[in-house]
Amino acid sequence: MDMEVIAALTEILDAERVSVTDADRALHGRDQSPHAAHLPDAVIWPQTTAEVSAILKLANTRHIPIVGWGAGSSLEGNPIPVHGGIVVNFQRMNQILAIHAEDFQVVVQPGIFYKDMNKILGQFGLFFAPDPGANASIGGMIGNNAAGTRTVRYGATRDNTLALEVVLANGKVIRTGSRSVKQSAGYDLTHLIVGSEGTLGLVTEATLKLTPLPEHFSAVLATFSHTAKAAEAVFSIIGAGLGPAALELLDAAAVTYMNQDSTINLPVAPTLLMEFHGATAEALHTELALVRDVCADCGATRFEAGVGRDERDRLWHGRHQLGEILFRAHPKETYLITDVSVPISRYPDLATFTAGLMETMNINGALFGHAGDGNLHTVVFAPPDSPRQQADLQRFNDHVVQKAINLDGTCTGEHGVGIGKQKYMVQEHGEAAVDVMRQIKTMFDPHNILNPGKILG
């Protein structure tokens, strides 16, 4: 980066949308992960696809790293500019371009925030179902294939993305997919881009699949004596053909942390937090009765259904705030977040192993996850002045990932590879498959300017 490049950026945009100040660079040097910050050389705010195209042409010619930025809420270092360069903040490309309510679709720019978009869509009786918890940008959700609490019923971001407009490393603009729900024409470039963490192109427009807001719903709480029993109930609920809209597992420690929210007062025990949607009140009542029976068979010590809207909203708010509560409770400690996923039949094995490992290794933290789709998280802590305990966190993560892969699972269910999961790529996919990924990356981005240092290193 030099003054000539800054001048060229200012010519493409304007001086007000190009910054090299220490404050702006620091704000775009780290996400919500524990990975070390790296400052970009410049931060810019484009407003149009044409501007993004011109920026990438310039960067490609000069071999300058380019990193897309949404809300900075990623948890695996995905948007950290580890090689400096230019951070492209999409905050000013935040519009809903079209709502096709009759087709349950919306066309948006990447900078719009998920919760803000759903507030508008709610006026049409619709919502975008993937729920990462944080008010992430749609571009960030696409980049990481974000999932969350409702994935068990509605799928992740990839399952709800129909078409994209993407600017490639050389500045060319391509459109992938279409508004047709059924698509079989050629290679599936849309789903290749989703989850690529900005390493293959920058998304400037997305056509998303929407879902009608449910008329009948119920939140459900079930508590158990042991985490293993709660995990067994997860498999039994899914295996019985029941269809939760959300199914979350919380160990006793996670519940204790959630109770620090003054609006939450749950029994301190391993807990399943669920939500069910029904076309009619009668259908919902029948399904809840079956859920009660399944939980009882798995040893539930308490079962509560029919939770009202206000209480349901408080519970989900508490669940979404759990990460923040954990970090506030350990302000001076180093933390590590695990994010593995396995087939649902293997979930009890994974949860039991992870809970036992935390106890055996004397790891301090909490276990929780989007259990209905086989996803398990822990947030674990260690004092920064204890090298042994710091090393224990890494060993703990290695053991959990190894267990997940041995159970035919993955090292990352929803946070992406980013920085911390790169070391597991060959272990999970094999050298030959990773080599194919490298070839794809080289074809899309021969000068390695797009978010270099991520996924494949």
* Tens digits of residue pLDDT in 281-312: 999 999 999 999 999 999 999 999 987 788 88
Confidence of residue 134 (pLDDT cuts 50, 70, 90): confident
Burial of 440 (0-12, 13-18, 19+ CB in 10 A): middle
Q: Mean pLDDT, to the nearest integer, of 103-120?
A: 98
Identify the pLDDT of residue 222: 97
Q: Across all residues in the chain, what is the average pLDDT?
A: 96
| Distance separating alpha carbons of residues 429 and 432, to the nearest angstrom | 8
Confidence of residue 111 (pLDDT cuts 50, 70, 90): very high
Q: Mean pLDDT, to the nearest integer, of 274-281?
A: 92
Q: Do 51 and 94 meet the contact criterion of CB atoms below 8 Å apart?
A: no
What superfamily does domain 214-416 belong to in CATH?
A: FAD-linked oxidases, C-terminal domain (3.40.462.10)
Distances (CA, A) of 2 to 9, 42, 57, 86: 11, 10, 17, 12
Identify the pLDDT of residue 307: 76
The answer, yes or no, to whether residue 133 has pLDDT greater than 90, is: no
| Distance separating alpha carbons of residues 194 and 147, to the nearest angstrom | 12
Q: Do 227 and 351 meet the contact criterion of CB atoms below 8 Å apart?
A: yes
Q: Do 446 and 180 meet the contact criterion of CB atoms below 8 Å apart?
A: no
Q: Domain spans of the chain?
A: 3-89, 96-212, 214-416
The residue behind tokens 């079989």 is 184
Confidence of residue 350 (pLDDT cuts 50, 70, 90): very high
Q: Give the CATH number of domain 3-89; options: 2.60.40.10, 1.20.1090.10, 3.30.43.10, 3.90.25.10.
A: 3.30.43.10
Q: Mean pLDDT, to the nearest integer, of 209-214?
A: 96
Backbone angles phi, psi at 367, to 5 degrees: -115, 135
- Please count the helices (runs of H) and the strands (runs of E) in the chain: 16, 18
The answer, yes or no, to whether residue 373 has pLDDT greater than 80, is: yes
The answer, yes or no, to whether residue 1 has pLDDT greater than 90, is: no
Q: Do 329 and 269 meet the contact criterion of CB atoms below 8 Å apart?
A: no
The residue behind tokens 């909490």 is 366
Tally of CB atoms within 10 A around 60: 19
Identify the pLDDT of residue 142: 98
Where do runs of H (alpha helix) occur along 13-101?
Answer: 22-27, 49-62
pLDDT digits (tens, 9 = 90+) for 385-412: 999 999 999 999 999 999 999 999 999 9
Q: Mean pLDDT, to the nearest integer, of 351-375?
A: 97
Element (H, E) at 336: strand 334-341
CATH number of 96-212: 3.30.465.10
Identify the pLDDT of residue 310: 84
Identify the pLDDT of residue 336: 96
Backbone angles phi, psi at 338, to 5 degrees: -100, 155
Which long-range contacts does 128-133 make (Cβ < 8 Å, 24+ apart)?
128/160, 128/208, 128/210, 128/211, 129/153, 129/154, 129/155, 129/160, 129/210, 129/211, 130/154, 130/155, 130/156, 130/157, 130/160, 131/246, 132/73, 132/414, 133/319, 133/320, 133/323
Confidence of residue 215 (pLDDT cuts 50, 70, 90): confident
- Tokens matching residue 15: 């001086």
The answer, yes or no, to whether residue 320 has pLDDT greater than 80, is: yes
Give strand pairing partners of 249. 272, 369
Q: Where are the beta strands (DSSP E) in 59-199?
A: 66-69, 86-89, 96-100, 105-108, 126-127, 161-167, 173-177
Q: Mean pLDDT, to the nearest integer, of 241-260?
A: 96
Give strand pairing partners of 175. 165
